[in-house]
Structure 1
Amino acid sequence: MGHDTTNSTTLSERDSKALLADYSVPIAGERFAGTPAAAVEAANELGYPVVAKLNGDAIAHKTERGLVKLRLGDAAAVEQAATDLLAAAHPDDGEVDVLIAPMISGNRELIAGIVRDPQFGPTVMLGVGGILAEAVADVVFRPAPVDAITALEMIDDLATQKLLGEFRGEAAVDRSQLVEVLTGLGRLAAERSDVASVDINPLIVEASGRVVAVDGLVELAAVATDRAVLRARPSDEQFQALFEPRGVVVSGASTHPGKFGFVSLHNILASGFAGAVFGTNLKGEEVLGIQTVADIAEIPDGAADLVFVCTPAAGNPDLLRACAAKGIRAAFLTSAGYGEADEAGQRAEDELVALADELGILLAGPNGQGVVSTPVDLCAQIVAPNPPAGGIGVASQSGNFVSTFLNMSRASGVGISRAISAGNAAAVSVADYLDWYADDDATNVGLAYIEGITDGQGLINRLAGAADRKPLVLVKGGATEGGAQAAASHTGALAANDKIFDGACRSVGISRAPSVSAAFDAAATFATQPLPAGPNVMVLTTVGGWGVVTADAITSADDLVLMDIPSDLEASIDELLPPRWSKNNPIDCAGGETRDTVPDVMALCAAHPEVHSIIYLGLGIQSNQARMMREGRFFPDHGLERIVGYHERQDARFAEAAHELSVSTGKPILTCTELAVADPDNAGPAAVRATGRLCYSSGGQAVAALSHLVRRQMYRSARGL
């Protein structure tokens, strides 16, 4: 997948450009001259001004050696430049000549190329180029090959969009031509495994908007084509045994409340699991009302599908054999001392995986935290919590982040379908779990934390199919093993693994979040809101300041549009609000709300065909005052009981209206108030939670989550999905 630069060969500029031209990269008309006189003849044919460069098989970076002469305006200048360049040749440069090319002018420079990443393989890059390429680092990547749709998305993903439009009197970049360049590079990367890297810098944008490669280098290297063969994903029957077992055996059940064998058995029983529950204990003690047995052999045949292992690693091979004899098809191992420990532990882990394969047992873990499956009220974990039921399927290489996601579920009320700590993921990877979630009727969205990637191509290939079927949200910690090999080129130096990983995710429609909390927000929104038909967002607020900052967030988001209010919608709202209302987006009700104003205005917006989604701000303000009245010394006298009840009913009604309108129109309506955090028992956010949806604590939080939905819809729409 990667390449060894010590055994690489850099093609001459002549050979590099000849190869690139075969793959749709536009090259300026060039001539090659062996003498100053021939250089003058070439310049006369091309027309002045011209550029002169020393060309040779062993010459890569010419600028550093002063081997580039620019803006040569006449024959005398060309003759002198050619003489100087030929005199500057070193013996180790090999056979040299002088390249004469037209002086291409333009105020904008791009960079394009190929990098062969150790984990993600051949990858195409596009970015802002020139001498500031590495300083600006506005670059995007996609795995090769690249189709036209993906190439357009690469162009749109550049942050410096102003450079791509009309600029200083020059035409906008010819996107169709740039698409040809990117797809051509994608073909080159896919068809020529010996091409280790390509560096086209600069790719000059002419005044007409056309792009021309004025410099290009191709590096060849022997590239390893052998890749680890992906393990087959466990069968649906095996996953069923893990997540919906008829019965569970806790191996190593303990009477000590601090032991894994006690805590896991407690959590299984406390969560209300209705299947059979067994425990093994060397002394055959009673634990939490369960009469344990000394050996798995004493459990009835076919009574359990899952064994939850809390015993030391040394005894686990014999345990698996005994489980297989009883018809157990899945094992979750909390046991440590395997690959995470040392080489001996890794050998033991490999042997256990081979044994589980031989026995037909799904092996989850080892060194894992547990498994949760709310459709069957199963919480087989060595730690809390047990989340509410819902549509988010969690898989994580870190047990801590499983707990984090489950705690966020409890706090927000947006529920979980399945959750698992993959531990060492010796036999079943996070990608395997996500792939199964994509076909799981109980799961609406997959949510995962990953780290320590060892096969990036394999990971993305497995997740691509899952992302086609269900939304997937990933958050990545740490760096991939090996890292990006920064070649002695701009392309290599810009190829940070994180950006390559981001491009790989975008190429298959995976939503990548910058943090664990943002990942949960995105997953919770996917799980509970419909996808919008487009990017147009309307903001409805009862307080002006929140609307302003939310509008700023929408304007700053690449994927959203703060739409103008259509004239017919404005006229309809005029009939409901006082003349002082904002008459633009955000719609500020200006304190003129009556009992029905908020739901009525919201209904008008939701029904309008140009409105794709709504962010509603200000829920719970009146209930917050009601709380202060309820807690004050004057309550319930002075009419306070009546007004308190009215405010609380109204806020609950507004939350319910947002939910009902969203369901009936198929448009996302995101409700926001800081009271979701400051006072979660407030009638407003409490009513949002009762609908099963996320109540966002700020407009910015809602904007970030909504962006994921819009991006997925645009990805699918562009591909006719």
Structure 2
Amino acid sequence: MTMNLEYLFEPRGVIVTGVSSHPGKFGFVALHNILSCGYKGRVFAFGREEATVLEQKVITSFDSIPANEADLMILCTPVGANEELLRKASEKGVKAVFCAAGGYSEIGDEGLKAEKRLVTLAAELDLVLVGPNGQGVVSPPAGLCAQIVAPYAPKGRIAVVSQSGNFVSSFLNYANQTGIGISRSVSAGNAAATEIIDFLEWFSIDPATDVALCYIEGLEKGRDFFERIKEITKKLPIVLVKGGITVGGQRAAASHTGSLASDSKIFEGMTRQAGVTRAPDIESAFEIAATFATQPLPNGSRTLVLTTAGGWGVVAADAISQSSELVLAPLPNDLKETINKLLPPRWSRNNPVDLAGGETRDTIPELLSVASKHPEIDSIIQLGLGIQGNTANLVRTGKFYPEHGLERIVNFHERQEKRYAEASIEVSLTSGKPVLVASELAATQPNNPMVKTIRDSGRLCYISANRAVSALNHLVRYSGWRNQSN
């Protein structure tokens, strides 16, 4: 049965314990983040001394908290205080508790005993307990940033759960950088009562979420995890990074969260059978998840590359040919004949479709349209956009601008780049096929009109053809697995 985590991510009100006027303390930081990021529910600041902190009256007794006004409590208090706080919170109608405090199983036997007592008590009180030793919970649809660190992230369709709070921050930082937002985010900490798999199950029924992204160091219940996750992936793609795959990493995991890292080969085989998408590192994990969140799933592996210059196409063709799932689609004769009418004779006459500088004002949108409609093309990778915008940038910043007709040509180049980007988005939406645009300008010139248009649409512009191919490869693999499993 799926655990009910609605009170964790959509609370009517929040209690923060351990609040003081010290801006470096967990209670202060958690309170600040909740109040600063747009949360509309009631907020109660609880501390040892009466004071006003961040324009909030600090209360010293739970008697001052009205019943059934807060669903969530953020524990930022020492181990010795937390069991009594759970009892008092339960009496006030709290349904979920996030424990940010450390000092539990990650420090040894005494901490483990305290953790077991906390878990037992939470179960007796029918409280959802998350943590301990966690960073916090973020829920942009609710305007909630109840965590003891930065950052907050824009609202989107990626749900994040991690045994490492630092990697939660990493994923949220990437969300801010790319504009590809987050639906939910939580640091599981020691996962004493609510495990990674519990979050993944809830994400699979969460209407705000399209893909789950998680970091795991170790599992105590590997078989249970496997049996449950293979049901989740039938509904929801999961992108996973596994820490502790080496002896050194396993030692670090044990000291970090107290996790016993799982055998990496067994874990790899288990997750592959379950349709989980494994990522080698945090950056690629976010990029893959962002692709799942913003592109439709392909119906097959046949990939067409459109490029304005040959070199980019060659590299993309190599990457596709070396991938595990993608096929460089043979160019169908009827599509080739259509392209002949749009391009001069020097075009490549093959896949990749190299325009060889033969494009006119309307060529790229027309090519994208006809290619996306062809039944023998499942996905498109578009390369070489942004060149005109890059030229416009150089001219605009040069000493002769805006004279000599330069303002007019700059405006034309920038309009065209925006139009090309809009065409790639439109054909993907109308055809239901992935169209991935790649250019190093995504990193080197993020204000290029093509890059900015892609980003403003809520999609990624990949920094290289190889990165786009890698992301698409994961989409194709998962799509094939899900079609066979359902």
The interval holding the TM-score normalised by the smaller chain is over 0.9
- Tell me which of 709, 712, 715 is aligned to 2:475: 709
SS at match of 2:59: coil
Matched, 1:500 2:266: yes
- Tell me which of 515, 523, 539 is aligned to 2:305: 539
Q: Quote the residue 1:690 is aligned against.
A: 456
Q: Quote the residue 1:488 is aligned against.
A: none
Q: Quote the residue 1:316 is aligned against.
A: 82
Distance, in Å, in 2 between the alignment partners of 1:480 and 1:577 is 53
Answer yes or no: is the 8 Å Cα contact 2:302–2:328 preserved in 1. yes
Structure 2 residue identity aligned to 1:580: R
Distance, in Å, in 2 between the alignment partners of 1:579 and 1:611 is 23
Q: CA-atom RMSD, angstroms?
A: 1.6
Structure 2 residue identity aligned to 1:310: C
* CA positional deviation for 1:515: 1.5
* CA positional deviation for 1:514: 1.5
- Tell me which of 8, 24, 32 is aligned to 1:258: 24
Structure 2 residue identity aligned to 1:523: A
Q: Quote the residue 2:381 is aligned against.
A: 615
The 5 Å alignment of 1:4-15 reads none
- Tell me which of 507, 512, 522 is aligned to 2:278: 512
Distance, in Å, in 1 between the alignment partners of 2:246 and 2:395 is 55
- Tell me which of 317, 320, 325 is aligned to 1:551: 317
* CA positional deviation for 1:480: 9.4
Which of the pair has more CA radius of gyration?
Answer: 1
Q: Quote the residue 2:342 is aligned against.
A: 576
More helix per residue:
2
- Tell me which of 352, 363, 366 is aligned to 2:129: 363
Q: Quote the residue 1:448 is aligned against.
A: 214
- The one-character-per-residue Cα deviations of 1:674-714 (angstroms, maximum 9, x if unpaired) are 11111111111111111111111011101111111111121
SS at match of 2:106: coil
- The one-character-per-residue Cα deviations of 1:76-126 (angstroms, maximum 9, x if unpaired) are xxxxxxxxxxxxxxxxxxxxxxxxxxxxxxxxxxxxxxxxxxxxxxxxxxx
The 5 Å alignment of 1:80-119 reads none
- Tell me which of 592, 599, 611 is aligned to 2:358: 592
* CA positional deviation for 1:296: 2.4
Structure 2 residue identity aligned to 1:642: R
- Tell me which of 289, 296, 319 is aligned to 2:55: 289
* CA positional deviation for 1:717: 2.5
Q: Quote the residue 2:68 is aligned against.
A: 302
Return 699-708 or 512-521, whichever deviates more: 512-521
Q: Quote the residue 1:521 is aligned against.
A: 287
Answer yes or no: is the 8 Å Cα contact 1:391–1:442 preserved in 2. yes
Answer yes or no: is the 8 Å Cα contact 2:441–2:448 preserved in 1. yes
Structure 2 residue identity aligned to 1:689: R
- The one-character-per-residue Cα deviations of 1:426-478 (angstroms, maximum 9, x if unpaired) are 10111110110000000000110001222221211121111111111111010
Structure 2 residue identity aligned to 1:583: R
Matched, 1:279 2:45: yes
Distance, in Å, in 2 between the alignment partners of 1:303 and 1:636 is 61
* CA positional deviation for 1:325: 0.5
Q: Quote the residue 2:149 is aligned against.
A: 383
- The one-character-per-residue Cα deviations of 1:263-306 (angstroms, maximum 9, x if unpaired) are 11111111111111110122121111111211223111111111
SS at match of 1:670: strand
Distance, in Å, in 2 between the alignment partners of 1:660 and 1:668 is 11
SS at match of 2:421: helix
- Tell me which of 173, 176, 189 is aligned to 1:407: 173
Distance, in Å, in 2 between the alignment partners of 1:407 and 1:702 is 20
Answer yes or no: is the 8 Å Cα contact 1:479–1:498 preserved in 2. yes
Matched, 1:422 2:188: yes
Matched, 1:606 2:375: no
Answer yes or no: is the 8 Å Cα contact 1:250–1:278 preserved in 2. yes
Matched, 1:630 2:396: yes
Structure 1 residue identity aligned to 2:80: A
* CA positional deviation for 1:512: 1.1
Structure 1 unaligned blocks of 5 or more: 1-231, 484-495
- The one-character-per-residue Cα deviations of 1:630-680 (angstroms, maximum 9, x if unpaired) are 222222222222222221221111111111111110100001111111111
Structure 1 residue identity aligned to 2:279: A
Q: Quote the residue 2:237 is aligned against.
A: 471
| Identical amino acids, percent of aligned pairs | 53
Distance, in Å, in 2 between the alignment partners of 1:438 and 1:337 is 32
Q: Quote the residue 1:657 is aligned against.
A: 423
Distance, in Å, in 1 between the alignment partners of 2:81 and 2:270 is 41
TM-score by length of 2: 0.95
Structure 1 residue identity aligned to 2:63: A
- How many residues matched? 474
Distance, in Å, in 2 between the alignment partners of 1:359 and 1:615 is 54
- Tell me which of 380, 391, 394 is aligned to 2:160: 394
Answer yes or no: is the 8 Å Cα contact 1:453–1:480 preserved in 2. no
Structure 1 residue identity aligned to 2:75: V
Structure 2 residue identity aligned to 1:360: D
Matched, 1:718 2:484: yes
Distance, in Å, in 1 between the alignment partners of 2:100 and 2:214 is 19
Q: Quote the residue 1:432 is aligned against.
A: 198
- The one-character-per-residue Cα deviations of 1:377-410 (angstroms, maximum 9, x if unpaired) are 1111111111111100000000111111111111
Matched, 1:269 2:35: yes
SS at match of 2:299: coil
The structure, 1 or 2, with the larger RCO (C-alpha pairs under 8 Å, 6+ apart) is 2
Answer yes or no: is the 8 Å Cα contact 2:336–2:349 preserved in 1. yes
Distance, in Å, in 2 between the alignment partners of 1:253 and 1:427 is 25
* CA positional deviation for 1:313: 1.1
Please list every run of at least 4 consecutive aligned residues from structure 1 whose deviation after the TM superposition is greater than 6 angstroms.
none
Structure 2 residue identity aligned to 1:710: V
* CA positional deviation for 1:505: 1.1
TM-score by length of 1: 0.64
* CA positional deviation for 1:413: 1.1
Answer yes or no: is the 8 Å Cα contact 1:252–1:310 preserved in 2. yes
Distance, in Å, in 1 between the alignment partners of 2:46 and 2:97 is 14
